[in-house]
Structure 1
Amino acid sequence: HWGEHAAPLELCSYEGLEALPTVGEEYQQGYKLVNDRLPKGIYKVDPDLKAHSEHLNYRWQQYTKTKDAIVQAEGSLAAFAQGHKKMGIVREGGVTTVREWAPAAQAVSLIGDFSGWKEVGMKKDQWGVWEVTLPDVQGQPAIPHRSRIKVKLQAPGGWWVDRLSAWIRRSERPYKPRSLRIYEAHVGMSSEEGKVASYTEFKNLVLPHIKAAGYTAVQLMAIQEHAYYGSFGYHVTNPFAVSSRFDGFRFDGVTSMLYWDHGINRGFSGAYSDYFGLNTNVDACAYLMLANDLIHTLMPEAIVIAEDVSGMPSLCRPVQEGGLGFDYRLGMAIPDKWIDLNKRDEQWSMLEIVSALCNRRYSELTVGYAESHDQALVGDKTIAFRLMDAAMYEGMSTLTPATPVIERGISLHKVIRAVTIVLGGEAWLCFMGNEFGHPEWIDFPREGNDWSHKYCRRQWSLATQDHLRYRQLGDFDRALMELDDKFDFLTSGHQWVTHMDEEEQVLVAERGPLLFVFNFSPFNTYEGYRVAAPAPGKWRVALDSDGFRYGGKGRVSWDADHFSVPEPRRYHDRYCRRQWSLATQDHLRYRQLGDFDRALMELDDKFDFLTSGHQWVTHMDEEEQVLVAERGPLLFVFNFSPFNTYEGYRVAAPAPGKWRVALDSDGFRYGGKGRVSWDADHFSVPEPRRYHDRDQSMLVLSPTRSVVAYYRTEDYPEMAAAQDLERAEQGDRRIGESMQRPIQLCRNKEYRQGYKRVNDRLPMVGQRLHQAAEYRRGIDGRARNNA
């Protein structure tokens, strides 16, 4: 329990963690302060994480210890990050002050066009901050806006280097989109010409295309200074961003940070032990928590995405819950699955596709994508190039009939992207040009290609020519984005695959208010194909990849209305109507099922067990097929056995006292056989050696295929008193009624033989029936004596 400090204090001796401080009075007091702030949110979202609370509590401790040190020194984490107000070029009292933090530098000077590139010396303080103050010149700042400047530093070894300042000013930020559709772009290769494009060219030529294509966010690659252009921006030489307007953060290679072995040469099975143990770099986790805490404090509208292949639970839960604080993770396994499938001969498994797309934690958001820049690089292939390869050079003109290769490639390119955005996540990502099937690969200028830009550019004109099929692919992608604008399916929590047919190669899925039908068959068009409708009514086409406009054959009519019809025996888990009258007829068992469901709801009203954080399975018996569980103040006994009713079954009691039945699925009212007596009191008895991790136990009757819920009368005295009054008024009538029916049933020879065959241990006519009656009256000698 969170209020107990004994368990977290045991963390101080956690084996193998030498960084943990020694247990002492001062540490214990400090730890108690930290422990009182431990989060509960991630355990409510995923109770299985409690098994690893020791590790997660230690991670939280490292985060809070570091944050507390920052708060003590700077006042707050946000204040600590306000360095731009003091560092870099700032205006103070009518003068310009420049500060740079370089504690290891031997000397620092400022150079730039403001001084004719002559060195202006800076002085160092005790904290390693170099500073120079420049008076205004003729009433104007000494360093005018848009000046070009650098910082000249002398390294400890004596040599000099020129560096850009790490500090820039803020400007207006973009808003957070309702639906996150990311366009992954690289400014340098965005020109159609064979050169390195500028930001101005990107702004004028590419941003309008991105907006027109329906994307709501831009992920710019390689915006930090890097020495080698061909590194795609990964060889960072200075963490300098061109503008603070870039408020999205993509943490690259998070897996390498999270684990001491960097996740290399090992798979992640999904077992929680893969993520919470000595191989986890807790300091890295604490850093990511601090970073995400800071980002969301300063910029609540910011979006932070983790590139993680491990699938660590709680990665995308808020820091306040004890998570690492990311908003999204990249669905990195999806592109690998499409690469694998495209190497086969279209014998694609529908289950395999759905499993890859839906394999994610639904309490944590995922960015789905079919391909990114990784697949576009030389040595790999985009989906379009894998599907059509060299045929793209001559077969993409609409002035000639499409070859079988082109026809197949155009169709599958659209279907693959559509099914991925529908089932692959809660956000979408596309690398620039892939939306219209950009041909070939990316190959940066290098010695091996004679420093050519031929394959390091984007041929935007391909997507604007009416006679090219690239235009058709781009139009379909734009239609997908518009579909999300109209129906908000991407952010909807409703996602349901209602049908997978391996032989027909058909998938039917619901996402948001839409119904999608995907046909992957290379041969078959299905006419009059029956699909499950989510709701009764009239349905119309909202998007059709086979439309002429998108390079299809126009076989689907947009003029047709599709009327749903009732399915009495259900169809793919869907009805088209509700037969409410079934639940109101006393002679029908539907009424009994409805009454039991209502009783379940009333049980929650009385005991608030559904919202309770206390949930504990105390017993699981595979042979007996029995589960015993605690939820809130209630004790539940589930018997899944098709044959055995257990009389005098011992179960662990959560607390000492008198327990009574609160709900019984075997009751006559609910279609049962009335074997459990509501008049019986069950007294718990002490267990010196503990029983199923509890100090008390009691005996109960557990009928076959039933659930019985018990409550402790000391916790609900008014309810118990009302029950006592009801017992006094009714006397033994209920017992008589409950005993009469089984006796009448046993008079039937066929029933007696069947009943005996099912379970010889069930109470029968005569002595066993009398014993059952005694048990129903609560006469359990040992329990009463012990009590």
Structure 2
Amino acid sequence: MGQLAIIKNDPWLEPYAAAIEGRHQDAINKEKELTAGSGSLKAFANAYNYFGLHRTDSGWVFREWAPHATSINLIGDFSKWKVMRKYALRRIAASDGVWEIKLPATALRDGDLYKMYVCWEGGGGERIPAYANRVVQDEQTHIFSAQVWCPEKLYKWKVKRFAPDTKPLLIYECHIGMSQEREGVGTYNEFRENVLPRVAADGYNAIQIMAIQEHPYYGSFGYHVSSFYAPSSRFGTPEELKALIDAAHEKGIAVIMDIVHSHAVKNEVEGLGRLDGSPDLYFYGDHRREHSAWDSLCFDYGKNQVLHFLLSNCKYWLEEFRFDGFRFDGVTSMLYYDHGLGKAFGSYSDYYDGNEDTNAIVYLTLANKLIHEVNRRAITIAEEMSGMPGLAYPIKGGGIGFDYRMAMGIPDYWIKILKEKKDEDWHPTSIYWELTNRRPDEKTISYVESHDQALVGDKTVIFRLIDDQMYWHMTKGDDNAAVNRGIALHKMTRLVTLATINGGYLNFMGNEFGHPEWIDFPREGNGWSYKYARRQWDLVDRKELRYCELNAFDNAMVQLVGDVYDFQALPVEKLWEKDDDQVLAFKRGDLVFVFNWAPFKSYDGYGFLAPEGEYEVILSSDNKDFGGFGNIDEGVHHFTQPDPLYAPDHKGWLKLYLPARTCQVLRLHRQKSDNI
């Protein structure tokens, strides 16, 4: 095998070539092993068509992998929840612990609730099948059960084939349950009817949906998964989820699922923990079994049955629900035996010190390969904070194969300067470096804040900027200094983050208009209140409030970037940065982005070198429609002034009026001719 491309392109990786080549070969070997009988990963990842409950021409068949079980019985409405001999599974001979039962068509009906009663050496208990595709919770007892799902009318897809136009990728991160105005749990239908039109109007071309996989505790934000194949019934039925995805596709919006394969809930009655009585069926059996920070269980990616379960899970969501891809949660935790906790990752040696979980890296590599085999246009995103090289690099070149990685350092940076820096200490050199400091061969998703920054105990960016003044001074005409500052910086941070993307941009639901306060799901500590687990859409709909100004600016900047095909691929060319003046200017294609971060200093005729020609202002944060003061005359065209020193480079001085705390975008209108 010749040297891998990732090492050729980055000589600093050469000392770690053995580790990189080793894990690359491990993935090749594991794929050969898994596909020896099927021929491809796509054919291999069919566990959900074999395990679980299925209706056949002759009746029903149910199968479960439980090698440590001594007996398994189906119990449910049909057996009055008693163990009965006629619902006993038999262990398939010569199998690795697979149990099966075949039942007549009349044995089960749509809507029946059921579970398994599993016995093992020294004990037994009720369990929900690992491959259950519908799990519901009783409103009175709060007990979860699997449910027979075979409605007479299955959803019929309207969009047969969907090819997302995501260059650039503009993501609207959302949570179905908290997407409604009322205090309660929102539904798939409510989101489809009320929120999806907002997303389309806002100009985003993808939604990233959290908390789809069933989870017992609502307040976990969907990250403590119990049933990996069941869409959460809190929000509605599987058919209603399909209708939502179909409607998004009709609007040209891709649907990305926030998938959790990094860990699982510890619950044993609802989840996979000790499903057959053993602690290590799906999880590590030693000290690595429990995640010390998340109070959850860690998958053993070295087991082929676990790989079968997880790879099939990827294919299931793609094929059954037509998701357009996945944002993999908790990838850092997967990559390292210590989950990356308390580690600085200050040098390449930190990534290759023997702490890498090679089995997990192999799984992620195979998952990416499978996903793109099933749908070559699929989108995969890694939520990863250590910065391991190659995560979003092609597999054939030695990478792990994600399309994008989350630029998790960017929101941390914005929060840090908001908390620690005076306005006059916001330095353009620091801002530009943070937003453009990335591996050139890996695409990232940039963002100012996601749901993480808004969780209880923290604050959204707008709330950190304005704080309690939001409660009293967000009415138009109320000239409040704190609100004016907050609105100005909210717009500037978002535009500079979006304008410097090399892959995609993400916004969390409601933050486009500066949704106030934090996110807090119902829990004992807040009296099980839904007050902060919802979105106050009326704030942006009320034209007398300033939220609509922030929303209008967000719409304008998203449309501006979205209208430039492959904007993310255009080189970012720095034109000017001066910390003393707090001015930053850079160019992408024919667009020039200019920022004056100074809190009090406005500049008249501020000049910097730019490609010679005529420029028109196409976006200004100072526009009154966006909550500005209207000091920038957007009708004026600006011409570069020649300088003999820079004439060979076809550059001249572009001189602009830069009001304090404003940003503007100019387009090179036409090349300057000699008679101008």
Shorter-chain TM band: 0.7 to 0.9
Cα 1:79–1:447 change in 2 (3 A) is same
Distance 1:105 1:462 in 2: 55
Instruction: Verify: 1:345 aligned to 2:383, yes or no.
Output: no
Hey, what does 1:541 align to over in structure 2? 617
Match of residue 64, structure 2, among 95, 100, 108: 100
* Residue 454, structure 1, aligned to residue 531, structure 2: yes
Relative distance call for 1:574 and 1:163 in structure 2 (3 A) is: farther
Task: Map 1:579-594; keep pairs closer than 5 Å.
Answer: none
Q: Say yes or no: does 1:408 pair with 2:485.
A: yes
**Structure 1 counterpart of 2:9, from 13, 21, 45:** 45
1:161 counterpart (115, 127, 143): 127
Please report how far the alpha carbon of residue 228 of structure 1 lies from its aligned counterpart in structure 2 after TM superposition. 1.6
TM-fit CA distance, 1:108? 3.9
Distance (whole Å) between structure 2 residues aligned to residue 250 and residue 481 of structure 1? 21
- For 1:518-667, list aligned pairs within 5 A: 518-534=595-611, 536-570=612-646, 575=651
Does residue 71 of the first structure (1) align with residue 59 of the second (2)? no
Task: Quote the Cα distance in structure 2 between the aligned partners of 1:517 and 1:350.
Answer: 11
Structure 1 residues 92 and 226: CA distance shift in structure 2, 3 A? closer
Matched, 1:372 2:450: yes
Q: Give a deviation string over 1:92-112, Cα, whole Å, max 9, x none.
A: 445443333333444444567
Structure 1 residue 255: deviation in Å? 1.5
In structure 1, what is the equivalent of residue 165 of structure 2?
A: 177
Aligned residue type for 1:132 = I
How far 1:354 moved relative to its partner? 1.2
Q: Once the two structures are superposed, what CA deviation does each residue of 1:276-316 show, in whole Å capped at 9, x if it has no partner?
A: 23222222211211111111112212211111111111111
Aligned pair in 2 of structure 1 residues 216, 264: CA closer, same or farther (>3 Å)? same
The corresponding residue for 1:222 is 211
Cα deviations by residue, 1:513-537 (Å, 9 ceiling, x for unpaired): 3110011111122222223323x33
1:387 aligns with 2:387: no
CA positional deviation for 1:83: 2.6
Q: Is the 8 A contact 1:371 1:430 kept in 2?
A: yes
Work out the CA distance in 1 between the residues paired with 2:72 and 2:455.
40
For residues 212 and 241 of structure 1, what CA distance do their matches in structure 2 show? 31
Task: Kindly provide the amino acid, as one letter, of the partner of residue 125 in structure 1.
Answer: I
Question: What is the distance in 2 between the residues matched to 1:555 and 1:101?
Answer: 69
Question: How far apart are the structure 1 equivalents of 2:417 and 2:648?
Answer: 26
Kept after mapping to 2: 8 A contact 1:532/1:574: no
Q: Tell me which of 271, 282, 291 is aligned to 2:358.
A: 282
Once the two structures are superposed, the pairs formed by residues 432-511 of structure 1 within 5 Å of their partners are: 432-488=509-565, 490-511=567-588
Secondary structure in 2 matching 1:152: strand
- Report the Cα distance in structure 2 between the residues aligned to 1:296 and 1:150, rounded to whole angstroms: 35
Of 15, 18, 35, the match for 1:54:
18
CA distance in 2, matches of 1:471, 1:115: 57
CA contact (8 A) 1:334 1:368 kept: yes
Report the CA distance shift for 1:569/1:166 in structure 2 as closer, same or farther (over 3 A).
farther
Q: Is 1:492–1:512's contact at 8 Å kept on the other side of the alignment?
A: no
Q: Which structure is richer in relative contact order (CA contacts within 8 A, separation 6 or more)? A: 2
Q: Which deviations, in whole Å up to 9, do the C-alpha atoms of 1:403-459 show, x marking residues without a partner? A: 011111111100010001112442001111111000111111111111111111110
1:292, 1:136 → 2: CA distance?
Answer: 38
1:180–1:428: 8 Å Cα contact kept in structure 2? Answer: yes
Secondary structure at the counterpart of residue 472 of structure 2: helix
Q: Is the 8 A contact 1:70 1:80 kept in 2?
A: yes
**Contact persistence 2:131–2:227 (CA under 8 A):** no
- Given that 1:308 and 1:330 are in contact with CA atoms closer than 8 Å, whether structure 2 keeps it comes out as yes
Contact kept, 8 Å, 2:75 with 2:117, in 1: the verdict is: no
The alpha carbon displacement at 1:489 in A equals: 6.2
1:258 partner letter:
L
Report the alpha carbon displacement of residue 484 of structure 1 after superposing the two structures with TM.
1.6
Displacement of 1:184: 1.1
**1:569, CA displacement in angstroms?**
1.8
Matched, 1:131 2:95: no
SS in 2 for 1:183: strand
In 1, the alpha carbon distance for the partners of 2:607 and 2:515 equals 36
Instruction: Report the 3-state secondary structure (helix = DSSP H, G, I; strand = E; otherwise coil) of the residue aligned with 1:542.
Output: strand
Shift, 1:570, TM fit: 2.8
Q: CA deviation at 1:481?
A: 1.3
CA 495–130 in structure 1, closer or farther in 2 if over 3 Å, else same: same
C-alpha spacing 1:529/1:489, structure 2 compared with 1 (3 Å) = farther
Among candidates 394, 411, 430, match of residue 335 of structure 1: 411
Q: 1:457 to 1:214 in 2, by over 3 A?
A: same
Amino acid at match of 1:212: A
CA gap 1:574/1:345 in 2 versus in 1, 3 angstroms:
farther
What is the letter of the counterpart of residue 194 of structure 2? L
Decide whether the 8 Å contact of 1:489 with 1:511 is kept in 2: no
Distance 1:262 1:188, change over 3 A: same
Q: Which moved more, 1:128-137 or 1:420-429?
A: 128-137
Give the C-alpha shift of residue 361 in structure 1.
Answer: 0.5
Amino acid at match of 1:206: V
Which 10-residue stretch deviates more, 566-575 or 459-468? 566-575
Stretch moving more, 302-311 or 68-77: 68-77
SS at match of 1:491: helix
1:728-747 equivalences in 2 (<5 Å) = none
Q: Kindly tell me: are residues 275 and 519 of structure 1, through their superposed partners in 2, closer, same or farther at Cα, counting changes over 3 Å?
A: same
Contact 2:6 2:390 in 1 (8 A): yes
C-alpha contact 2:453 2:459 (8 A) present in aligned 1: yes
Q: Helix, strand or coil: the match of 2:585?
A: strand
Q: Give yes or no for the alignment of 1:417 onto 2:381.
A: no
SS of the residue corresponding to residue 607 of structure 2 reads coil
Q: Percent identity?
A: 45
SS at match of 2:641: coil
2:401 is matched with which residue: 325, 343, 346? 325
Contact 2:4 2:21 in 1 (8 A): no
1:548-576 CA-partner distances (Å, limit 9, x unpaired): 11111112222222223333223998625
Distance 2:112 2:372 in 1: 32
**Could you report, residue by residue, the CA deviation over 1:367-407 in whole angstroms, capped at 9, with x for unpaired residues?**
00001111101111111001100000011111x32201111
Deviation, 1:88, is: 3.6
Q: Distance in 2 between matches of 1:167 and 1:525?
A: 60
Secondary structure (helix, strand or coil) at the match of 2:620 reads coil
Larger Rg: 1
Mark the CA change 1:461 to 1:295 in structure 2 (over 3 Å): closer, same or farther: same
Q: Structure 1 pair 158/572, CA: closer, same or farther in 2 (3 Å)?
A: farther
The one-letter code matched in structure 1 to 2:443 is: L
Q: Does 1:311 align with 2:387?
A: yes
CA contact (8 A) 1:151 1:164 kept: no
For the 8 Å contact 1:114–1:147, the answer to whether it is kept is no
Q: What is the identity, as a one-letter code, of the residue corresponding to 1:452?
A: S
Amino acid at match of 2:193: N
Distance 1:320 1:259, change over 3 A: same
**Are the counterparts in 1 of residues 575 and 610 from structure 2 also a CA contact under 8 Å?**
no
